[in-house]
Structure 1
Amino acid sequence: MISSPVRSLTRTLIWRLIAFQIAGLVLILVLVVGTLSATGLLVNLETEDETIAILQEALARDENNGLLLRPTPALADLRSKVPDHWFIVRDQNGQRLAEGQPPSVFARIGASLDEIGQARLGWNMADDSSSRPTARMKWIDTQAGRVQILTGSGPQVTPHKILMATSLVISSLILPSLVPLIIATIVVTPVVIRRALAGLSEAAAQARDIDINQLHTRLSADAVPSEAAPLVQAINDALDRLEREYEGQQRFLMAAAHELRTPIAVLQVRLESLAEGAVKDRLLEALNRLANLAGQLLDIQRLSQSAPEFARIDLVDLARRVASDLAPLAIAAGYEPALESDVDEMPIDGDQSSLERALTNLIQNAIQHGGRRGTITITVGSDYSISVTDEGDGVPAERNEDIFKPFHRLHPQRSGAGLGLHLVREIVRRHGGRITVINVPHGGACFRMTFRPPRQSASR
């Protein structure tokens, strides 16, 4: 099954905010241009300001000191683009120069505006202003001297005027607003989301720490946004159900392991009464494996339900006693047991019974997989370690981690439940140590348990 790509909340929110901002500004553009076009306040203003600038360059005096317009290219372009334009030019002496058809309402208004530098002349919006002319008045300095220009164009809205108005609104309003908004969105949105979801990140960190030994842990929803709180609660509810199911399975396994011990003991007594022979040996060996499996199940349950009680123990003494107990089993399987130690004693803080069980499982693992040949060596090192080495086929490097998983067997066709090494690793972990496996040069595997040094006593 191909999983869909993970969507980024930050990227999605940024794009949607930008799209919303653009849509909002486009709506503003439509409203502004529509309103100004209807009132004539903008489309004419652009043309009128352009007309004033063109007239400023074209105005001059004739030989009689009268006003005239020089035939500039800009003036010719204006006359072709805005055929309904009109203007009235007055100097300070009252001379006039006019072109087009000025509306009667503006034809004689110039003299009354001599004391005003510039003005916009129009109508109230309550009036039907879209069908009534507007005008622009401004005093400017030209080659013909200081003059008053009153100009305007027809009230009709043309595509050219709409385009000019749209361009003006985009350049003066939309772009100056949109660019900072987009930049602020790109910069601020990740910060806002990161702070808003900080509680969710903490909950995710808590979830990563949950394992089979910490099923009682629950995610905290105190700092989680209210929108994500149902997800956190659903996860906690799922953990509640998993914990109840797991505890039920654990109780079942412990009860089953306890129940197995009685029939195993009865079988052992009855098998011991049989006549010596190969059949008896095979039956006793099979019964021993069954008893070992029941013991491993009980040990796993005890480890999961209670913390070990640590005391000062000696690894050398522990190795000597376990090796002595298992020596007959190793010899009967065709091995030569050996105990080596670099030191006379090696104290650590640990649980005596669980460490004995861990070492027993390693030796039994070596007996089972050592090829029934060579030496099984138990070594206590000066680095607070104890190792078991056999001369079998070794462990493939790519399987070094798999062999410690519960119910995993290196050779599925062989006997064993695959719990021994898993139990060993759990015991070592509870002691704050680590277990490693390497293949020795002459053949075989070496399992080494390394523990922490003992705590120094407070008293001297």
Structure 2
Amino acid sequence: MKPFFHNSLKRKLIWQLLLFQVVLLFLFILALVAFLVRVDLGGVLIDAEVAETAARAIMRDEHGQLKLGETEELKALRRKNPAFWFVAQSEHGEIIQVGDIPPVYQTMAKHLDRVSFADIRDMVPPHSYSAVIRKTIGPAGEFTVLGEGRLFSLTFVVLFLSNLLMIPILTILVIITIVAIPWIITRAFSGLAVVAGQAEEIDIDRRGNRLPDSNVPAEVRPLVHAVNGALQRLDAGYERHQRFILDAAHELRTPIAILQTRVETLPAGAFRTRLLADTGRIAALAEQLLDLQRLDRNKTSFTCVDLAVICKRVAADLAPLAISSGYELSVESGETSVLVMGDAGALERAVINLVQNAIEYGGQQGNITLRVERDGIIEVFDEGTGIPHNEREKVFEPFYRLHPRDHGAGLGLNLVKEIVSRHGGHITIVDGISSGACFRITIPLVSP
């Protein structure tokens, strides 16, 4: 059995139910004792020790006559009560008596053949006329004995017997509770395991899922409904947020294009070059926002694409920009194809963002290399200052910039991560060959 935790429902139910059972059993015993004592009208019982001791002390002599033997029990009885009395009648009508029989019992002593059992007690304390009649067997045969009855408390007897009875009952209750409660709880809450499993699968990429309530306890169902309502509101808010970004990005494209056209008409010079760079970054930001929305809404099935072809095409497109920025751009790829299932346009945008990031932060000198390996790995590395180890996970967060005053909005690497994850792969930052940053994309290959 698993250990109970501090807030375990099983533990609370077991201890509370056990406490309730113990208290209820204790109150029942008290009520039973009170009832028996009240019914007994005095709360005492009569001990038949005298009658039984007398029967075991009656013997026969060598002539077959009855006599009283001095047994150890009889001696002990004499020491406790020297004035004890009894009269015994055998099954053959023989009578033997000891002590002074009270007058009220002398007539009854003559008719013991008609009585086999009786408890007699007078109503007035100190109950000096209490007596018992018992039919018992001794060494001399079977006798009906009328003798003095010793009183003792009924309350003590009932308490003693009730305690003896309560121990096995309580033991059974404890065993049943410890075994039954976990089994009942586990069976009743089995549906919650399904709910928890489906809740773990809900994330930003799998919206619209709701928790089932068909196999959960009625007490937990309102909580499931509340969670489903919260998920519905979150989905609606996320959709509104996405629509706003998409609409804003679309609306920005037209004024950005107009601005770029007007800047291009300015006289050549440093001011014009700077304005063109700034408008280019604004245009790139709008395109990145649109790319994020396309990824989220793209429902087309993947096709077989060649990573080597994609990297060569990106290198050809960005080579002029890299050379004008002071870099040498090269591609390292074998003659064999590296085939994966994916969206060629999305993967190309991911590689473009990595190369543009290397151009932006590579130190304006050295080499930028694209390497494609057979096991579905693309590496883009430069010879710049690199990225500190404690920043390598943060740079993939949206709107995070390594240096606060850097150009750009911090969406490029986040876009790359989203594209790679939607293709079932992952992206990491490793140390470059000499210095600089090395971004490594790994995407599953096409199954043979």
Instruction: Report the TM-score range of the alignment, normalised by the length of the smaller protein.
Output: 0.7 to 0.9
> Per the alignment, do residues 436 and 105 of structure 1 end up closer, same or farther by CA in structure 2, a change over 3 Å counting?
farther
**Separation (CA, whole Å) in 2 of partners of 1:378 and 1:73:** 116
Question: How far is 1:418 from its partner?
Answer: 2.4
**Separation (CA, whole Å) in 2 of partners of 1:176 and 1:266:** 93
1:286 pairs, out of 278, 282, 286, with: 278
Structure 1 counterpart of 2:232: 240
Structure 2 counterpart of 1:321: 313
Which range moved further: 375-384 or 138-147? 138-147
**Separation (CA, whole Å) in 1 of partners of 2:268 and 2:120:** 126
Trace 1:104-119 onto structure 2 (pairs within 5 A): 111-114=113-116
1:427 pairs, out of 419, 424, 429, with: 419
Identify unmatched segments of 5+ residues in structure 1: 80-85
Structure 2 counterpart of 1:94: 95
**Separation (CA, whole Å) in 1 of partners of 2:79 and 2:31:** 30
Trace 1:41-80 onto structure 2 (pairs within 5 A): 44=44, 48=47, 51=49, 55=53, 59=57, 65-66=67-68, 70=72
- Judge conservation of contact 2:340–2:445 (CA < 8 Å) in 1: yes
> Per the alignment, do residues 146 and 376 of structure 1 end up closer, same or farther by CA in structure 2, a change over 3 Å counting?
farther
> What are the Cα deviations for residues 35-55 of structure 1, in whole angstroms up to 9, with x where unaligned?
22222399656x737x47984
Structure 1 counterpart of 2:304: 312
> Per the alignment, do residues 54 and 7 of structure 1 end up closer, same or farther by CA in structure 2, a change over 3 Å counting?
farther
> Per the alignment, do residues 398 and 163 of structure 1 end up closer, same or farther by CA in structure 2, a change over 3 Å counting?
farther
Code of the residue aligned with 2:26 in structure 1: it is: V
Structure 2 counterpart of 1:343: 335
1:406 pairs, out of 398, 405, 410, with: 398
SS in 1 for 2:441: strand
> What are the Cα deviations for residues 253-310 of structure 1, in whole angstroms up to 9, with x where unaligned?
1000101111111111112222333322322222222212111111111211232432
Question: How far is 1:436 from its partner?
Answer: 2.1
Q: Does 1:254 align with 2:246?
A: yes
- Judge conservation of contact 2:88–2:95 (CA < 8 Å) in 1: yes
- Judge conservation of contact 1:404–1:421 (CA < 8 Å) in 2: yes
Question: How far is 1:147 from its partner?
Answer: 4.6
- Judge conservation of contact 2:60–2:140 (CA < 8 Å) in 1: no
Code of the residue aligned with 2:10 in structure 1: it is: T
> What are the Cα deviations for residues 70-106 of structure 1, in whole angstroms up to 9, with x where unaligned?
4679758987xxxxxx985635243245799899699
- Judge conservation of contact 1:219–1:236 (CA < 8 Å) in 2: yes
Structure 2 counterpart of 1:35: 35
Which range moved further: 99-108 or 192-201? 99-108
Identify unmatched segments of 5+ residues in structure 2: none
- Judge conservation of contact 2:89–2:112 (CA < 8 Å) in 1: no
Question: How far is 1:379 from its partner?
Answer: 0.6
1:191 pairs, out of 183, 187, 197, with: 183
Structure 1 counterpart of 2:7: 7
**Separation (CA, whole Å) in 2 of partners of 1:364 and 1:24:** 78
- Judge conservation of contact 1:314–1:346 (CA < 8 Å) in 2: yes
> Per the alignment, do residues 395 and 37 of structure 1 end up closer, same or farther by CA in structure 2, a change over 3 Å counting?
farther
Question: How far is 1:433 from its partner?
Answer: 1.9
SS in 2 for 1:65: strand
Structure 2 counterpart of 1:83: none
- Judge conservation of contact 1:43–1:164 (CA < 8 Å) in 2: no
- Judge conservation of contact 2:88–2:143 (CA < 8 Å) in 1: yes
Question: How far is 1:163 from its partner?
Answer: 3.7
- Judge conservation of contact 1:219–1:232 (CA < 8 Å) in 2: yes
- Judge conservation of contact 1:335–1:373 (CA < 8 Å) in 2: yes
Question: How far is 1:432 from its partner?
Answer: 1.8
Q: Does 1:165 align with 2:166?
A: no
Code of the residue aligned with 2:68 in structure 1: it is: G
- Judge conservation of contact 1:387–1:446 (CA < 8 Å) in 2: yes
Q: Does 1:228 align with 2:226?
A: no
Which range moved further: 63-72 or 311-320? 63-72
- Judge conservation of contact 1:335–1:375 (CA < 8 Å) in 2: yes
> Per the alignment, do residues 142 and 432 of structure 1 end up closer, same or farther by CA in structure 2, a change over 3 Å counting?
same
- Judge conservation of contact 1:406–1:418 (CA < 8 Å) in 2: yes
> What are the Cα deviations for residues 381-412 of structure 1, in whole angstroms up to 9, with x where unaligned?
01122121122333343444333222233333
SS in 2 for 1:313: strand
Question: How far is 1:341 from its partner?
Answer: 0.8
> Per the alignment, do residues 231 and 392 of structure 1 end up closer, same or farther by CA in structure 2, a change over 3 Å counting?
same
**Separation (CA, whole Å) in 2 of partners of 1:419 and 1:56:** 109
- Judge conservation of contact 1:361–1:421 (CA < 8 Å) in 2: yes
Seq. identity, %: 40
Question: How far is 1:358 from its partner?
Answer: 0.9
**Separation (CA, whole Å) in 2 of partners of 1:76 and 1:403:** 104
SS in 1 for 2:379: strand
> What are the Cα deviations for residues 335-373 of structure 1, in whole angstroms up to 9, with x where unaligned?
221211133422222111111111111112222333333
Code of the residue aligned with 2:11 in structure 1: it is: R
Q: Does 1:385 align with 2:391?
A: no
**Separation (CA, whole Å) in 2 of partners of 1:271 and 1:76:** 133
User: Greater Rg, structure 1 or structure 2?
Assistant: 2
Q: Does 1:397 align with 2:389?
A: yes
**Separation (CA, whole Å) in 2 of partners of 1:70 and 1:340:** 115
SS in 1 for 2:322: helix
> Per the alignment, do residues 87 and 417 of structure 1 end up closer, same or farther by CA in structure 2, a change over 3 Å counting?
farther
Question: How far is 1:445 from its partner?
Answer: 2.2
Question: How far is 1:187 from its partner?
Answer: 1.5
> Per the alignment, do residues 263 and 188 of structure 1 end up closer, same or farther by CA in structure 2, a change over 3 Å counting?
same
Count of residues in Structure 1 that have an aligned counterpart in Structure 2: 431
> What are the Cα deviations for residues 159-208 of structure 1, in whole angstroms up to 9, with x where unaligned?
xx43442122011x211111111111112211110110011121111111
> Per the alignment, do residues 56 and 12 of structure 1 end up closer, same or farther by CA in structure 2, a change over 3 Å counting?
farther
SS in 1 for 2:370: strand
SS in 2 for 1:223: coil
